[in-house]
Amino acid sequence: MYEIKVKTDFSAAHNLKNYHGKCEHLHGHNWIVEARFNYKTLDKDGMAVDFKEAKRVLKLAIELVDHAYLNEVRELKGINPTSENMAKFIYDRVKKNNKNISSVSVWENEDSCATYQPGA
Protein backbone atom coordinates (compact mmCIF):
# COMPACT_ATOMS: atom_id res chain seq x y z
CA MET A 1 0.00 0.00 0.00
CA TYR A 2 1.25 3.47 -0.86
CA GLU A 3 0.24 6.48 1.18
CA ILE A 4 0.39 10.00 -0.21
CA LYS A 5 0.03 12.99 2.11
CA VAL A 6 -0.55 16.63 1.12
CA LYS A 7 -1.18 19.72 3.22
CA THR A 8 -2.78 23.08 2.66
CA ASP A 9 -4.27 25.78 4.83
CA PHE A 10 -7.19 28.13 5.10
CA SER A 11 -8.29 30.94 7.39
CA ALA A 12 -11.76 30.96 8.91
CA ALA A 13 -13.70 32.13 11.93
CA HIS A 14 -16.21 30.21 14.01
CA ASN A 15 -17.77 29.93 17.41
CA LEU A 16 -18.70 26.68 19.07
CA LYS A 17 -22.32 25.98 19.95
CA ASN A 18 -23.22 24.51 23.35
CA TYR A 19 -19.71 25.18 24.62
CA HIS A 20 -18.99 27.10 27.81
CA GLY A 21 -15.66 28.85 27.60
CA LYS A 22 -13.65 31.13 25.36
CA CYS A 23 -14.45 29.16 22.20
CA GLU A 24 -18.16 29.93 22.47
CA HIS A 25 -17.23 33.44 21.31
CA LEU A 26 -16.37 34.37 17.75
CA HIS A 27 -12.70 33.65 17.01
CA GLY A 28 -10.57 32.54 14.10
CA HIS A 29 -7.85 30.11 13.15
CA ASN A 30 -5.31 29.63 10.42
CA TRP A 31 -6.27 25.99 9.90
CA ILE A 32 -3.85 23.43 8.48
CA VAL A 33 -5.43 20.54 6.59
CA GLU A 34 -3.62 17.29 5.88
CA ALA A 35 -5.11 14.74 3.52
CA ARG A 36 -3.88 11.16 3.16
CA PHE A 37 -4.56 8.98 0.14
CA ASN A 38 -3.99 5.22 -0.15
CA TYR A 39 -3.15 3.44 -3.40
CA LYS A 40 -2.52 -0.26 -4.01
CA THR A 41 -0.61 0.27 -7.25
CA LEU A 42 1.52 2.82 -9.05
CA ASP A 43 0.94 4.20 -12.52
CA LYS A 44 3.30 3.61 -15.46
CA ASP A 45 5.48 6.50 -14.25
CA GLY A 46 5.90 4.99 -10.78
CA MET A 47 3.50 7.38 -9.01
CA ALA A 48 0.42 6.63 -6.95
CA VAL A 49 -0.95 10.08 -7.77
CA ASP A 50 0.68 13.31 -8.82
CA PHE A 51 1.12 15.52 -5.76
CA LYS A 52 -0.26 18.42 -7.83
CA GLU A 53 -3.50 16.51 -8.40
CA ALA A 54 -3.83 15.55 -4.72
CA LYS A 55 -3.30 19.19 -3.72
CA ARG A 56 -5.81 20.35 -6.34
CA VAL A 57 -8.64 18.21 -4.96
CA LEU A 58 -7.80 19.23 -1.40
CA LYS A 59 -7.78 22.93 -2.26
CA LEU A 60 -11.06 22.50 -4.13
CA ALA A 61 -12.56 20.92 -0.99
CA ILE A 62 -11.61 23.85 1.26
CA GLU A 63 -12.49 26.61 -1.19
CA LEU A 64 -15.96 26.95 0.35
CA VAL A 65 -14.63 27.56 3.89
CA ASP A 66 -11.56 29.69 3.20
CA HIS A 67 -11.98 33.17 4.69
CA ALA A 68 -15.49 32.30 5.84
CA TYR A 69 -17.46 32.50 9.06
CA LEU A 70 -18.08 28.76 9.36
CA ASN A 71 -21.29 29.14 11.37
CA GLU A 72 -22.84 30.89 8.35
CA VAL A 73 -21.68 28.53 5.59
CA ARG A 74 -24.88 27.07 4.15
CA GLU A 75 -23.38 23.59 3.68
CA LEU A 76 -22.44 23.52 7.38
CA LYS A 77 -25.88 24.57 8.69
CA GLY A 78 -26.84 22.44 11.67
CA ILE A 79 -23.24 21.29 12.19
CA ASN A 80 -21.20 22.59 15.11
CA PRO A 81 -17.98 23.73 13.38
CA THR A 82 -15.59 21.81 15.63
CA SER A 83 -12.28 20.53 14.29
CA GLU A 84 -13.72 17.01 14.29
CA ASN A 85 -16.71 18.05 12.18
CA MET A 86 -14.52 20.11 9.86
CA ALA A 87 -12.26 17.09 9.27
CA LYS A 88 -15.27 14.97 8.22
CA PHE A 89 -16.75 17.78 6.13
CA ILE A 90 -13.50 18.21 4.20
CA TYR A 91 -13.04 14.43 3.87
CA ASP A 92 -16.51 14.11 2.31
CA ARG A 93 -15.77 16.91 -0.15
CA VAL A 94 -12.41 15.42 -1.18
CA LYS A 95 -14.01 11.97 -1.60
CA LYS A 96 -16.25 13.37 -4.35
CA ASN A 97 -13.13 13.93 -6.47
CA ASN A 98 -10.78 11.20 -5.24
CA LYS A 99 -12.07 7.88 -3.87
CA ASN A 100 -8.58 7.02 -2.55
CA ILE A 101 -8.82 9.51 0.33
CA SER A 102 -8.14 7.67 3.58
CA SER A 103 -8.18 10.44 6.20
CA VAL A 104 -8.24 14.17 6.79
CA SER A 105 -6.62 15.92 9.73
CA VAL A 106 -7.49 19.48 10.66
CA TRP A 107 -5.14 21.53 12.85
CA GLU A 108 -6.49 24.60 14.66
CA ASN A 109 -2.98 25.41 15.86
CA GLU A 110 0.42 23.74 15.98
CA ASP A 111 -0.47 21.39 18.83
CA SER A 112 -4.22 20.64 18.42
CA CYS A 113 -5.53 18.39 15.68
CA ALA A 114 -8.60 16.27 14.87
CA THR A 115 -8.60 13.47 12.30
CA TYR A 116 -11.49 11.83 10.47
CA GLN A 117 -10.86 8.34 9.11
CA PRO A 118 -13.95 6.28 8.27
CA GLY A 119 -14.10 2.84 9.77
CA ALA A 120 -11.28 3.52 12.21
| CATH homologous superfamily for the domain 2-116 | 6-pyruvoyl tetrahydropterin synthase/QueD (3.30.479.10)
Distance of alpha carbon 20 from alpha carbon 26, whole angstroms: 13
Distance of alpha carbon 62 from alpha carbon 45, whole angstroms: 29
Q: What does the pLDDT read at residue 15?
A: 95
Tell me the average confidence (pLDDT) per consecutive run of 10 residues in the chain, 120 residues long: 97 94 90 98 94 97 97 96 97 98 96 92
How would DSSP label each residue in 65-108?
A: TTTEEGGG-GGGTTS---HHHHHHHHHHHHHTT-TTEEEEEEEE
Catalytic residues: 23, 67, 108
- Using alpha carbons, select from 109, 97, 2, 102 the residue that is nearest to residue 49: 2
Q: What does the pLDDT read at residue 47?
A: 94
Contact 14, 61 (CB under 8 A): no
Q: What does the pLDDT read at residue 23?
A: 81
Domain boundaries, the chain: 2-116
